[in-house]
Structures are given as C-alpha cells and as structure tokens.
Amino acid sequence: MRRMRPIAHDDRLSVVDHLDELRSRLIVCAVAFIVAWALTAWQNHLVLKIVNNPLPDGIEPITLGPAEAFYTTLTNAAYAALLLALPVILYQVYAFLLPAFSPSERRVATPLLLLVPVLFITGVVFCYFVVLTPALDFLLNFNADEFNTQVRARDYYSFVTLLLLAMGIGFQIPVGVLAACKLGITNAEKLRRSRRYAIVTVVVLASLLPTLDPLTLILESVPLYALFELSILMAAAWGRPIADSGELSDQPAAEGSS
C-alpha cells in the first residue's frame, strides 16, 4: 500500500504504479467493509428489526430450511455493512478516478459525483419510510380471505433489497439530466417541452420496479417525476453546456503582442 498519497493530474505514473494504487484502495475498501460487516453481524437483531419494521403487525418472516436463518442474517448484515462503508468506498473510488480529470474537468465532474450518493441515500430513505409500508400492506392484504399469506424470509429480504436499490438508482435522474445538459445533448427548454414524454417514461420506469400494484406505482412515480421537474430547474441554473461555458478551458487566453 505504497501509493495512498493524493495524486495530481500532472503526475506521470506507470502501469505498475496505477495497479499498486488500485490494489491499495481496494484493500482499504475491503477492510472498511469487513469492519462494518463485523459490526452489523454483531448487531444483527437491530438490522433485522429495521428491515422487518415495514411489515404489517402480526406478520414475521418464516424460514423453510435449517440454514436459511443463518445465511439470511449474514446477507442482511452484509447489505447494511455496505451502506455503512459506502462513504469510505466512494472516497476511494473518487480518489482513484478524479486525478484523470483536468482541474477544469474536475470542477464539472465533482459536483455530479458528490450528488450521486446523496440522491441514492435519499431514494433509499424515501422508499423505506414512504413506499415500503403501504406497498406491503396492500400486497399482503390483497384478497386475504382467499389466501393464508405467509412471508418467506429469503423472498421478503430480496424484495426489500431490490426495491430500495431500484429507488436509489431511480433518484439519479438529476445527475443524468445535468450530465446530458453539460454534454450539450439537451437543455432546460427541451426538457420543458418534453414533459408529456417524461410522464410516460417515469410511469414505465416505475412499473419496472419490483412491485406493480397501483398504490406503489403512484408512490414511486410521483417522486420520480418531481425529480424530473427539479432537474429542469437545475439544468436552467447550472446546465450550460461545457463548450459554451468555457469550463474546460485550462489554457489562459493568449495575450496580445505589444
């Protein structure tokens, strides 16, 4: 782990140096994850309580195999550990990638990169507190008189994980829109004119998430469209194309000769 110092854009590193830096940063990520996993495995009852909390009263996940409880507990602890270790992992990823950008390119890329984890965590939190409980209540009570509904632990935790992950990714709409504006692919005016298409696209994206019931579809579609409207405001304020704004101009303007 020799090369953990900050690397400037002008530094010239060999392939071996790059691989050495990559190895060092991967080791740091692995250590951060293992430490976080040890903590969440120790507090696995708290982790499971948090994940089970959206379930309606009186319903508990069941296991159908002798090892399922063990593997399910470790898996949930690993997901929780990944969230805890996310700041360290993202820092290592950004520290490895950002030196490849010039100073002016970094001014454009850094805000977008910082926005990614903020929006992802916002999407996960929104899904957990707003979407999951009504979605599960609707699905588990649908046609309840005709079914003896049981919840298998493995299926339930997979469902929750996929839904949280999908919402976290779905909340990246502003990042994608701003990047497209910076590249000159679109602009705020074009986005305003495409609102009708955006509504259809948002509903289609929401329907691709793990649930298809009407209530969950609405709960997922509304914030995604709100993010699209926020993207329009952000594009109008900060989405000027790079070529027009001169943000990538690293060289000072040539001075006139006297």
Q: What is the pLDDT of residues 210-229, one digit of tens each?
A: 666 777 888 888 888 999 99
In this prediction the pTM is 0.81
**Dihedral sign, Cα of residue 36, residue 39, residue 44, residue 46:** negative
Report the C-alpha gap between 257 and 255 in whole angstroms. Answer: 6
Residue 142 φ/ψ, nearest 5 degrees: -70, 125
Report the C-alpha gap between 258 and 247 in whole angstroms. Answer: 28
Kindly report, residue by residue over 65-119, the tens digit of the pLDDT: 889 999 999 999 999 999 999 989 998 888 888 777 777 777 777 888 888 899 9
Query: Is the pLDDT at 248 greater than 60, yes or no?
Result: no
Encoding tokens for residue 174? 């502003």
Across-strand partners of 62? 152
Query: Is the pLDDT at 249 greater than 90, yes or no?
Result: no
Cβ atoms of residues 79 and 159 within 8 Å: no
At residue 218, the pLDDT reads 85
Report the C-alpha gap between 199 and 110 in whole angstroms. Answer: 29
Cβ count within 10 A of residue 51: 21
Encoding tokens for residue 124? 């996960």
At residue 253, the pLDDT reads 45
Cβ atoms of residues 102 and 248 within 8 Å: yes
More confident residue, 254 or 223: 223
Kindly report, residue by residue over 167-208, the tens digit of the pLDDT: 898 898 888 888 888 777 888 888 888 888 888 888 888 877
User: Where does 98-213 have alpha helices with state H?
Assistant: 103-126, 132-141, 153-170, 173-182, 188-193, 195-207
